[in-house]
């Protein structure tokens, strides 16, 4: 019931609002900057984002697809290819080498939430390699830190799980916000967005808050950040019910 209430509140409150390009000042005084804004090249809503060392990938929360994206000669994002998710609601995604891990935001009623692994190279692109049950009721965010998977979940009061690569639970943390979504790792810190607070967190791996940024449009309204990934230099951010993807300079 609590989960239904949260989803209902989000459906009512989250309307398409835009984050402006330019600098953002964090709680610790650290500055990051939105340097580019790109149109989403498909009709559905982006939930999860991931980077495979060459390309940005985006999960389509409406269509059940996970798209590999590329840039055309004018600098716009276009669809390069796609794979079919095992879920109607693919959410958090991340890479370990050539393997794509994909969670689901909403499992069928009475069924566990599954994290699936797909092949992304060779003749069998899109082949399901493995799956395991998420420790939470959903998998709203997912990232790989080079050793472990990290999985966020709306389980009240909101959790972030540290997992073995086969899904074995190592540690459970209460998330710093109310409605944990996207996760990514920059080699030192975990970055995390909370959709209810409209906040971007920079976290240590013991879940201490190093810094946070409130994400607002020019009118001061919350924007509902949802997907997050790191490409080695920049963060990439998607927003609920908005057809934009933001590229953010964090000074790497």
CATH of the domain at 69: 2.120.10.30
* Domain assignment present for 19: no
pTM for the model: 0.90
Structure letter (DSSP) for residue 216: B
Q: Measured in whole angstroms, how far is the alpha carbon of residue 49 from the centre of its chain?
A: 5
* Domain assignment present for 95: yes
The pLDDT of residue 1 is 41
Q: How many domains does the chain have?
A: 1
Range(s) of the domain holding residue 10: 2-14+26-249
Summarize pLDDT for 109-160 with one digit per residue, the tens. Answer: 667 889 999 999 888 999 999 999 999 888 999 999 999 999 999 888 999 9
* Domain assignment present for 133: yes
* Domain assignment present for 181: yes
Q: Could you tell me if 58 and 227 are in contact, meaning their C-beta atoms sit under 8 angstroms apart?
A: yes
Is the pLDDT at 10 greater than 70? The verdict is: no
The pLDDT-based confidence of 14 (bands split at 50, 70, 90) is very low
SS3 25: strand
* Domain assignment present for 100: yes
The pLDDT of residue 141 is 96
Q: Measured in whole angstroms, how far is the alpha carbon of residue 47 from the centre of its chain?
A: 6
Q: How many percent of the chain have pLDDT more than 90?
A: 74
Is the pLDDT at 3 greater than 50? The verdict is: no
* Domain assignment present for 56: yes
* Domain assignment present for 20: no
Is the pLDDT at 169 greater than 90? The verdict is: yes
Summarize pLDDT for 20-41 with one digit per residue, the tens. Answer: 778 999 999 999 999 999 999 9
Which residues, listed in sequence order, are joined to residue 143 by a DSSP beta bridge? 150
* Domain assignment present for 82: yes
**Left (φ > 0), alpha (ψ -120 to 50) or beta: where does 241 sit?**
left
Summarize pLDDT for 64-79 with one digit per residue, the tens. Answer: 899 999 999 999 999 9
Is the pLDDT at 7 greater than 50? The verdict is: no
């Amino acid at each position: 019931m609590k989960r239904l209430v949260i989803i209902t509140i989000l459906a009512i409150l989250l309307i398409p609002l835009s984050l402006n390009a330019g600098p953002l000042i964090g709680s610790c005084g650290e500055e990051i900057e939105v340097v580019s804004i790109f149109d989403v090249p498909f009709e559905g809503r982006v939930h999860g984002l991931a980077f495979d060392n060459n390309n940005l990938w985006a999960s389509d929360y409406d269509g059940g697809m996970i798209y590999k994206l590329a840039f055309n000669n004018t600098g716009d994002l276009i669809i390069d290819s796609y794979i079919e998710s095992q879920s109607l609601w693919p959410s958090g995604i991340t890479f370990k080498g050539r393997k794509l891990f994909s969670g689901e935001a909403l499992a069928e009623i009475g069924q566990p939430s599954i994290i699936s692994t797909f092949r992304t190279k060779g003749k069998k692109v899109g082949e399901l390699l493995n799956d395991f049950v998420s420790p939470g009721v959903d998998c709203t965010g997912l990232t790989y830190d080079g050793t472990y998977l990290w999985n966020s979940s709306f389980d009240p009061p909101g959790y972030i799980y540290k997992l073995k690569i086969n899904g074995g639970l190592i540690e459970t943390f209460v998330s710093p916000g109310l409605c944990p979504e996207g996760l990514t790792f920059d080699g030192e810190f975990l970055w995390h967005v909370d959709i209810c607070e409209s906040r971007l967190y920079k976290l240590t791996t013991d879940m201490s808050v190093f810094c946070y940024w409130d994400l607002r449009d020019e009118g001061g309204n919350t924007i509902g950040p949802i997907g997050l990934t790191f490409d080695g230099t920049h963060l990439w951010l998607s927003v609920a019910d908005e057809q934009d993807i933001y590229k953010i300079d964090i000074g790497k």
